[in-house]
DNA sequence: ACAAGAGACGAACTGAATCG
DNA sequence: CGATTCAGTTCGTCTCTTGT
């Protein structure tokens, strides 16, 4: 048999009939007249090819047929699921929700915000919430969000596509880092010294040029990028094993204060914001709002 | 190409009456 | 007493047309 959308109302009526075993009481419960429910019962009988409810021998109410009894529990459970699916879209309970949040972010940002998010998901008390982190490749990111494949982008504010909504999460200041015991000594570098050093650059695209190099070019200077790596987490190991230096957010480098020394840059570099961005389609989604609230409230 | 509005038609509702 | 039938009314859906 085929269930048309309009038959869903009939199934709600059948559920009430099977719970009441009485057309009059079921009609009152459904806020329709008894004749209207009687007509619905006739349509249900036609739909299922079964009387479903027959008058009881006592003359009091109706009794379900075997077919109706077989339908009863599954129908009730299915309608409860439907009700839960459409109930109060404003609320999101992380302890009960079944949802996977997909977030695009580099490993530094995952460390800054993602770890705390994972901690909160683990503490939510439920088993249905999951988080997935993927590379923040900006290509096609809006389309992936439109398709529902990606929930959130975390990254430098200036790299966020115009089509997305965004709010800043933190402000980052850049410093230079070198290994402890670096032969260069412990004095902050001059601009000339800075440019003479060999640099490690983090670039997910494998580019040997960043906004910092553009800034140096504006100053009539140039540095030597010797190594490009795709992840921040590789940088401390490379610095520890070479005399290379790296210019990264101070918040990241301070985590390695035991093995790295950090210095003020010999030129002005504007602070930049890490922002979270999402597609407008997710703006009013309760689960998405919960996700954004968690990230916004992370204390750095 | 898609969305919105108008008119026609049929399904489903109601109250009243009837049946078992 | 409770289910069903009947006649009139209301509501929803479908199709076509128009506008963006």
Position A11 pLDDT exceeds 90: no
Beta strands in chain A (DSSP E): 53-55, 62-64, 99-104, 129-134, 152-156, 165-172, 174-179, 198-202, 224-229, 245-249, 260-263, 272-278
- Tell me if A93 is assigned to some domain: no
Residue A125, SS3 per DSSP:
coil
Query: In this structure, are A262 and A196 located in the same domain?
Result: yes
Q: Is the C-beta of residue A39 closer than 7 Å to nucleic acid chain B? A: yes
> Domain range spanning residue A185?
174-270
Instruction: For residue range A141-174, list pLDDT tens digits in order.
Output: 888 887 788 999 999 898 888 888 899 999 999 9
The domain spanning residue A210 has which CATH number?
3.40.190.10
Q: Is the C-beta of residue A6 closer than 7 Å to nucleic acid chain C? A: yes
- Tell me if A22 is assigned to some domain: yes
Helix pair angle (A23-30, A34-48), 10° resolution = 110
Contacts (Cβ under 8 Å, ≥6 apart) of A102 = A132, A134, A149, A150, A151, A152
Q: Is the C-beta of residue A9 closer than 7 Å to nucleic acid chain B? A: yes
Q: Is the C-beta of residue A43 closer than 7 Å to nucleic acid chain B? A: yes
Rounded to whole angstroms, how far apart are CA atoms A289 and A283? Answer: 7
Residue A248, SS3 per DSSP:
strand
Query: In this structure, are A160 and A280 located in the same domain?
Result: yes
**A88/C17 CA-to-C1' distance in Å:** 39
- Tell me if A68 is assigned to some domain: yes
**A80/B15 CA-to-C1' distance in Å:** 33
Place of tokens 């077919």: A67
- Tell me if A153 is assigned to some domain: yes
pLDDT of residue A34: 72
By CB neighbour count within 10 A (0-12 exposed, 13-18 middle, 19+ buried), where does A204 fall? middle
**A2/B7 CA-to-C1' distance in Å:** 30
> Which of A17 and A287 is assigned the larger pLDDT?
A287
Query: In this structure, are A159 and A188 located in the same domain?
Result: no
Instruction: For residue range A233-263, list pLDDT tens digits in order.
Output: 999 999 999 999 999 999 999 989 899 999 9
**A18/C7 CA-to-C1' distance in Å:** 30
Query: In this structure, are A280 and A233 located in the same domain?
Result: no
- Tell me if A94 is assigned to some domain: no
pLDDT of residue A166: 93
Rounded to whole angstroms, how far apart are CA atoms A216 and A83? Answer: 60
Query: In this structure, are A160 and A180 located in the same domain?
Result: no
Query: In this structure, are A137 and A278 located in the same domain?
Result: yes
Q: What is the mean pLDDT of chain A?
A: 85
Q: Is the C-beta of residue A22 closer than 7 Å to nucleic acid chain C? A: yes
Query: In this structure, are A29 and A143 located in the same domain?
Result: no
> Which of A166 and A3 is assigned the larger pLDDT?
A166
Rounded to whole angstroms, how far apart are CA atoms A4 and A10? Answer: 10
A72-86, A118-132, A259-273: the lowest-pLDDT one: A72-86
**A48/B9 CA-to-C1' distance in Å:** 27
Mean pLDDT of A125-136: 89
Residue A288, SS3 per DSSP:
helix
Read off the DSSP letter of residue A111. Answer: I
Rounded to whole angstroms, how far apart are CA atoms A109 and A112? Answer: 5
Q: Is the C-beta of residue A185 closer than 7 Å to nucleic acid chain B? A: no
Yes or no: say if A198 and A182 are a contact pair by the CB < 8 Å rule. Answer: no
Q: How far is CA A286 from CA A6, A22, A53, A90, A281, in A?
A: 28, 39, 41, 5, 12
Q: Is the C-beta of residue A24 closer than 7 Å to nucleic acid chain C? A: yes
**A29/C8 CA-to-C1' distance in Å:** 25
Confidence class of residue A84 from pLDDT cuts 50, 70 and 90? low
**CA dihedral of residues A116, A122, A127, A131 (deg, nearest 10):** 20
What count of other Cβ atoms lies within 10 Å of the Cβ of residue A1? 6
């Amino acid at each position: 048999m085929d269930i048309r959308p309009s038959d869903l109302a009939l199934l709600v009526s059948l559920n009430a009939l099977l719970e009441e075993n009485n057309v009059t009481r079921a009609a009152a419960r459904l806020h329709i007249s008894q004749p209207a429910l009687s007509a619905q019962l006739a349509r249900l009988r036609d739909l299922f090819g079964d009387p479903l409810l027959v008058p009881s021998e006592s003359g009091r109410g109706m009794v379900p047929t075997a077919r109706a009894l077989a339908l009863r529990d599954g129908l009730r459970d299915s309608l409860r699921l439907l009700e839960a699916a459409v109930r109060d879209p404003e609320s999101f309970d992380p302890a009960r929700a079944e949802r996977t949040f997909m977030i695009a972010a580099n490993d530094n940002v995952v460390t800054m915000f993602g770890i705390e998010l994972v901690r909160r998901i683990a503490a939510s008390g439920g088993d249905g919430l999951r988080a997935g982190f993927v590379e923040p490749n900006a290509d096609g990111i809006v389309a992936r969000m439109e398709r529902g494949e990606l929930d959130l982008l975390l990254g430098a504010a200036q790299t966020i596509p115009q089509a997305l909504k965004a709010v800043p999460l933190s402000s980052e200041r850049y410093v230079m880092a070198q290994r402890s015991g670096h032969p260069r000594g412990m004095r902050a570098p001059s601009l000339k010294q800075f440019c003479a050093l060999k640099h490690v650059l983090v670039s997910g695209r494998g580019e040997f040029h960043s906004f910092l190099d553009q800034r140096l070019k504006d100053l009539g200077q140039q540095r030597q990028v010797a190594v490009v790596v795709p992840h921040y987490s590789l940088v401390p190991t490379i610095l520890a094993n070479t005399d290379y230096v790296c210019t990264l957010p101070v918040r990241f480098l301070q985590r390695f204060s035991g093995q790295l020394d950090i210095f003020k840059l010999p030129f002005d570099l504007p602070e930049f914001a890490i922002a979270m961005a999402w597609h407008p389609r997710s703006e009013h989604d309760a689960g998405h709002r919960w996700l954004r609230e968690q990230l916004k409230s992370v204390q750095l």
